[in-house]
Amino acid sequence: MLEKLFLNIIGISLPVSLLIILLLLIKPLIRNSYIAKWRYFMWLFIAVRLMLPITVQLPRISVKVPVQQLTGEPDTLRHVAENIASASGQNESASISMTGILSLIWIAGLLFMLVRQGFQYWYFKKSFARWSSNITDSQTAEMFNEACNQMKVRRKIDIKSCKKVKTPMILGLLKPVLLLPDRSYNRDDLAVIFKHELIHLCRNDLLYKLLLLIVNTVYWFNPVIYYMTHAANQDIELVCDEEVIKGMDLQYKKHYCQTIVEAIHDNRSKKSVLSTCFNHGKESVRERLSSILNLQMKKKGIAMFFAVSLSVVAASGLIGFTSAQVTAEIIDTVVEADQNIYAPENIEAPSFATEQNDGNANEPAQPEKTEQTSREINAPPDNHSQLVMPASPALPAENQESVAIKATEPTVAVHPSEAPPRKESVKNKSGDIIVIPDSSYSFEASFKKKGQTASIAKEFQADSDMNMTISKKQSGGLVRVTNADTGQVIFDEAGLKTAGSLYQIPVTKGTGYKITVSSASDGDTVRLYIYGADPKQ
């Protein structure tokens, strides 16, 4: 569950990061404040998009596994299959526990950021509160009320003087307080300050900033998001500036610029030495000032066209990405809704036909339930150890109940994870036998509730005495292997909960083995790879 969420976050993080980088790269090319408004909404759109995976995913417990796309010639497929087999044998266990570890790191970082930000907010609020006092100057309070009325702000906003703040600010989402630094302002200064702050309030910029903060907390590992947050914060200011000076003359703009510069605190601490070294702060202020002073001289023109076309491209990119996600989601839902048991769409499907012709013999000892639809073949002579498995890719309905799912759990979905394109499975519908030489047979079951059970729709049979290897990708769920004839339990994983476990179970020639998985906790997804041979050989 956590891992899936983490993978989702990573999956969304990447394309969105590219988009953000693109947007940040073109930013200097179109330095125009008309663009600020466009970017303001662009960032908002991206921020909302970034938060969607969580809200969409959370209620759904069964989660999707990226379906590996295998296309190509049978030969290539075979290679791929072998690669997968050996990779899954040796590395899978390691890589899976790796995602486990990474997702734990991610959630730990998220919690750390959350606590840190919560603490910072609490700390500032508290330390501002103890240095704040009500405005004693009745004229200031009156002016502020007037400004509120003018801007049609109906909420009651406190105004306080605070010795701790260096620049005027509004703090608090639910109960906003305007904090004025402890210094004297003339009426004109106050008028601009109030206007600026109340515009922020009307535009709900604090809410926007909270969203950015949450995005930053969730994607704390992604440096691009930090750049985005920074850029978005700057654009919030630019858009606000634009609003303040709308329809005002140059004199007013000049005064507004001066008020901004006066609001910048000069700082004698060591930290500022560093920042003035790079002079980044100064440059960004200069940019802001020129955007205020130049606004009317620039025309929308080319930049606007550029912006619009780009927004279309960017938006379509994002939507495309969204729809891909939705599709995957839908596929999953269908799988689940059907309660369908897909037979393994084996990666080797195209190649077994030839093996069949090579001289195979049907084996008589077949389990009843698959008898009608399946035959079994022997392995080609060069393959000493392999499992032969009777299979019908799409089981007839009557088999479904008896084999795969204990019918009481309608929510269990079983489907192969590493499925090749679905066309392949259509070919096999006649109930052909799928031979799995050393490559893996993969299997996945998603459970909603703890204690649910699902069986693999077919039995495994070895053509010689050998080891059957079962590799489990996640730590959740329990695996059990039983003798299909006697019902005797050969292997029971209960108690072992190692992530990415690799089990070797000795099997005897000619005996059928049934593999069952069950969930150890709610929302478990069990993904297995089963090999005919010891993958280490």
Partner 1 sequence: MNKKLSRLPDTELEIMQVIWDHPTPISTSEVKAVLDEKRAWNIGALQTLLNRLIKRGFLESGKDGKNKTYTPLIDEQVYLAMENKSLLERLNGNSITKFVTALYNDDALSKKDLKDLMAFIESKTKVE
Interface pick for partner 1 out of 271, 357, 381, 487 (rule CB under 8 A): 271
- The sign one gets for the Cα dihedral 376, 529, 53, 231 is negative
Q: Report how many residues bind partner 1 under the rule CB under 8 A.
A: 58
- Give the number of other CB atoms < 10 A from CB of residue 143: 18
- Which CB, 246 or 381, lies closer to partner 1? 246
User: How far is residue 205's CA from residue 240's CA, in Å, rounded to a whole number?
Assistant: 9
- The secondary structure of 342-353 as a DSSP string is BPP--TTHHHHH
124 is written with which tokens?
């500032």
Confirm or reject binding of residue 293 to partner 1 (CB under 8 A).
Answer: yes
Q: Do 456 and 514 contact (CB within 8 A), yes or no?
A: yes
Please state, in angstroms and rounded to a whole number, the distance separating the CA atoms of residues 465 and 386: 10
Site string for partner 1, 202-221 (x = CB under 8 A): ---xx--x--xx--------
Nearer to partner 1, 290 or 327 (CB): 290
Who contacts 53 (Cβ-Cβ below 8 Å, separation ≥6)? 5, 8, 9, 11, 12, 325
Kindly state whether residue 296 participates in binding partner 1, applying the rule CB under 8 A.
Answer: no
- Piece of the chain touching partner 1 by CB under 8 A; list 29-37, 53-61, 91-99, 265-273: 265-273
Q: Alpha-carbon distance 4 to 534, whole Å?
A: 29
83-122 positions binding partner 1, by CB under 8 A: 117, 120-121
Longest Cα separation, the chain: 102
Sign of CA dihedral 68, 97, 222, 57: positive
Question: How far, in Å, CA of 275 to CA of 427, rounded?
Answer: 67
Closest separation in Å from C-beta 206 to partner 1: 6
Question: Which range, of 281-289, 395-403, 434-442, 503-511, touches partner 1 by CB under 8 A?
Answer: 281-289
Q: Residue type for 481, please? A: V
Q: Is residue 530 left, alpha or beta, with left meaning phi > 0 and alpha meaning psi from -120 to 50?
A: beta
Span interacting with partner 1, options 14-22, 235-243, 354-362, 519-527, rule CB under 8 A: 235-243
What phi and psi, each to the nearest 5 degrees, are found at residue 339? 50, 40
Whose Cβ is closer to partner 1: residue 252's or residue 306's? 252
Q: Is 263 in the site for partner 1 (CB under 8 A)?
A: yes
Q: Which of 68, 91, 150, 275 binds partner 1 (CB under 8 A)?
A: 275
Q: Is there a contact between 288 and 238 (Cβ–Cβ < 8 Å)?
A: yes
Give the phi and the psi of residue 171 in degrees, each rounded to 5. Answer: -120, 135
**Of 526, 404, 398, which is closest to residue 459 (Cα–Cα)?**
404
Strand partners, 387: 436, 462
Secondary structure, 3-state, 26-45: HHHHHCCHHHHHHHHHHHHH
Among 66, 72, 223, 281, the residue binding partner 1 under the rule CB under 8 A is 281
* Buried b or exposed e, range 396-413, using 16+ CB within 10 angstroms: eeebbeebbbeeebeebb
Q: Which stretch binds partner 1 (CB under 8 A): 16-24, 199-207, 366-374, 519-527?
A: 199-207
Does residue 375 bind partner 1 (CB under 8 A)?
no
Strand pairing of 453-455 and 460-462? unpaired
Give the shortest CB-126-to-partner 1 separation in angstroms.
8
Q: Using the rule CB under 8 A, is 193 a contact of partner 1?
A: yes
183 binds partner 1 (CB under 8 A): no
Sole binder of partner 1 in the list 55, 154, 174, 266 (CB under 8 A): 266
Binding segment for partner 1 (CB under 8 A), chosen from 149-157, 260-268, 305-313, 328-336, is 260-268
Among 257, 388, 419, 507, binds partner 1 (CB under 8 A): 257
The region of 100-108, 190-198, 302-310, 474-482 touching partner 1 under the rule CB under 8 A is 190-198
289 interacts with partner 1 by CB under 8 A: yes
* 250 is a contact residue toward partner 1 (CB under 8 A): yes
Residue 395 engages partner 1 in binding (rule: CB under 8 A):
no
Among 37, 60, 166, 375, binds partner 1 (CB under 8 A): 166
Binding site for partner 1 (CB under 8 A): 117, 120-121, 123-124, 127, 130-131, 163-164, 166-171, 193, 196-197, 200-201, 205-206, 209, 212-213, 233-234, 236-237, 240, 250, 253-254, 257-261, 263-267, 269, 271-272, 275-276, 279, 281-282, 284-286, 289-290, 293
